Amino acid sequence: MKNKVFFLIVFVFTIFGCKNDDDVQLRTGDIKITVVTENNIIVLGAIVKILPNDIEKITNENGEVFFENLSEGTYTVMVSVPGDTINEEFVIEPGQLNLLTIIVDDVVVIEPDPLDINFLINTIYARLKDNTLFDSGGYSMYWGDIGVDIVSTNTTISSNYRGLDKFDLTPTNTIINDIWVSHYETIIEANTGIEFLESIDPISNPEIDKELLTGELRFLRALLYFNLVKLYGNPVLTTSGNNIDINNPPVFIQDTEQVYDLIVADLEYAQDNLMVSGPNNRASVSAAQALLGKVYIQMAGFPLFQADKYQKALEQFERLQGRYSLEPNYEDVFNVSNEVNNSEIIFSIDFSSDDPNEGSNYGVLWGPLGLAIEDNLLLVPSFLENYFEGPIAFPLNINDQRFNQNISTFTVQNGIATNTEDIANWRPYKFKKDVSLPVIRNGESFDFPYLRYADILLLIAEAENAINGPTPAAYNAINEVRRRAFGSIDYELTDGLTQEEFLDAILKERQLELCFEGHRKDDLIRTQRLESTINSFNINNPGDVKDFQSHEFIWPIPQIEINLNPNTVQNPGY
């Protein structure tokens, strides 16, 4: 039996509506495209698009797609798999039968028997670095900050993110499809590992810490499903690996609350079985507590409105107090030399330039004009103005130390920085600091801070305010962040704010503190401020408006899933 790489959770449905080799007689104007890896492993679930016709299909169980009745001429075939897109030209000529093989990068195939559980877990951690997950073009960019009021996409260059920024959201969007696929590919591996651990006898396998490793896998699965439920609202829920009966394909659950129930159960199990502490790039009790608190906060707001979850969130966050603290200087949070002993980072995604496949690309998309390879992101003026106590004036005199870490007010040429007073030339600058060194693709050592204590403090303030109003405990939490930002008690939040005013202050503080880390859109959605924020952006930026509709707080279920699984229900409005 041939090896296969499965990219879709419902791959079994490819047996319906897909042609078999024996059934296909290629004619002039037809083309069969086969997708394989460098090791000649066939690829199921690759997205194949023919341009300029813009016809899209999914490879079947033989790694094949068929396009029929194409006119004579030159075409481009675009093959997309998680983390990679291949473009090749081909020509339809009179009397020619067309067979085309596309070779994509090799991927790791987890063999179910025998299964190396530690290798599988390390593989999942490595997958978190994928560009459709947590690299620079991943979660923080495609979901967190574009499409709102921090950055917008540069209209002068071609960018796949432009459609997301302007809410041109369709079920066939390549990014929306790729992100779905990469998450489920990784979830299936986690499910495979969990099933394997459930099946083993701990007495016969004393070298395997069954509960600890299951806790690690369930933490990772929860993290991935938390992404999916926020992105797609009603993702497909599966807790199985690849062992699916193709003669009796299942009907998968699509229910927001049931997805959250699984996330909560996974994180509760993780808390009970993981190590209390350890390297911040591995799952731990603290990471599970922090993530579960964030999950509860999101459940407390729109669209679930489960207000009892505010108290549950506080209970999780209180367990972290005393174990973590803010770094004295904001810039030290992101200092590469401080990653191991960082007092603030609870869980991070670690990138290493020592491995050409595991370095980050944060300097590729994010950084000063003239240094970043792809100048994709422009700063929204109103976001910049929030760092200032009045109009932007020169010479710059800014008390908030976060500004210089987060914003490049200079351009770079030949390794030399030159200040500019044209704010249109300012750029995001949070992660790449040494402007004398060139940016190298996949070549940066940088740990992306997925969970950090400043985020937790601001969520403590939000939960406390939601339950009791702006109490001293709520003020203390937000002011701890502000004292670090300004290096002084003189900038503590004004007393006497109403509950609504205090929430506005928290959201502004989160915008300034956590920008470019992927939090902004979640903040606005759960507090029902997304639409009003976009309306304000459109009024202030009439040449760059976002076409937001009320149902677009989540993405559509990808068309590839609906094509393969006729039971899948599309989200309302799409």
Cis peptide before 566 (omega within 30 of 0): no
Give yes or no: residues 276 and 144 share one domain.
yes
CATH number for 200: 1.25.40.390
Nearest CA among 159, 283, 151 for reference residue 211:
283
Give yes or no: residues 92 and 128 share one domain.
no
Residue ranges of the chain with pLDDT lower than 50? Answer: 1-26, 108-112, 243-247
Distance (Å, whole) CA 44 – CA 173:
19
User: What pLDDT is attached to residue 472?
Assistant: 98
Last residue of a domain, one of 378, 409, 429: 429
Q: pLDDT tens for residues 97-140?
A: 678 888 887 654 444 456 889 999 999 998 998 888 998 778 88
Assigned token pair, 150: 């921090």
In a domain, 298, yes or no: no
Cis peptide before 52 (omega within 30 of 0): yes
DSSP assignment of 243-261 equals: ---TTS----EE-HHHHHH
Last residue of a domain, one of 50, 80, 104: 104
User: What pLDDT is attached to residue 248?
Assistant: 52
In a domain, 324, yes or no: no
Distance (Å, whole) CA 426 – CA 408:
5
Q: How far is CA 568 from the centre of its chain?
A: 23
Q: What are the CA-CA distances from residue 133 to residues 5, 235, 349, 378, 567 (Å)? A: 19, 16, 10, 22, 27
Give yes or no: residues 127 and 168 share one domain.
yes
User: What pLDDT is attached to residue 286?
Assistant: 97
CA angle (163 as vertex; 160, 169 as ends), nearest 5 = 120
Q: pLDDT tens for residues 265-301?
A: 999 999 999 998 789 999 999 999 999 999 999 999 9
| CB 80, CB 173: distance < 8 Å | no
Q: Domain containing 42: what range?
A: 4-104
Give yes or no: residues 275 and 419 share one domain.
no
Number of domains composing the chain:
3
CA angle (368 as vertex; 393, 152 as ends), nearest 5 = 80
Tracing tokens 């302007």 back to the chain, one arrives at 166
Distance (Å, whole) CA 68 – CA 26:
8
In degrees to the nearest 10, what's the CA dihedral of 240, 225, 237, 133?
-80
Assigned token pair, 296: 């509860």
In a domain, 160, yes or no: yes
Give yes or no: residues 59 and 156 share one domain.
no
CATH number for 16: 2.60.40.10
In a domain, 391, yes or no: yes
Distance (Å, whole) CA 155 – CA 549:
21
Give yes or no: residues 155 and 266 share one domain.
yes
In a domain, 489, yes or no: no
Distance (Å, whole) CA 478 – CA 498:
15
* E strand spans, 362-405: 377-379
Q: What are the CA-CA distances from residue 293 to residues 80, 290, 327, 449 (Å)? A: 35, 5, 21, 16
Give yes or no: residues 69 and 12 share one domain.
yes
Give yes or no: residues 245 and 142 share one domain.
yes
Give yes or no: residues 24 and 48 share one domain.
yes
Give yes or no: residues 150 and 97 share one domain.
no
Give yes or no: residues 60 and 150 share one domain.
no
Last residue of a domain, one of 46, 78, 104: 104
User: What pLDDT is attached to residue 357?
Assistant: 59
In a domain, 39, yes or no: yes
Residues in the chain: 574
Give yes or no: residues 137 and 93 share one domain.
no
Q: What are the CA-CA distances from residue 87 to residues 59, 76, 103, 104, 361 (Å)? A: 16, 7, 11, 10, 22
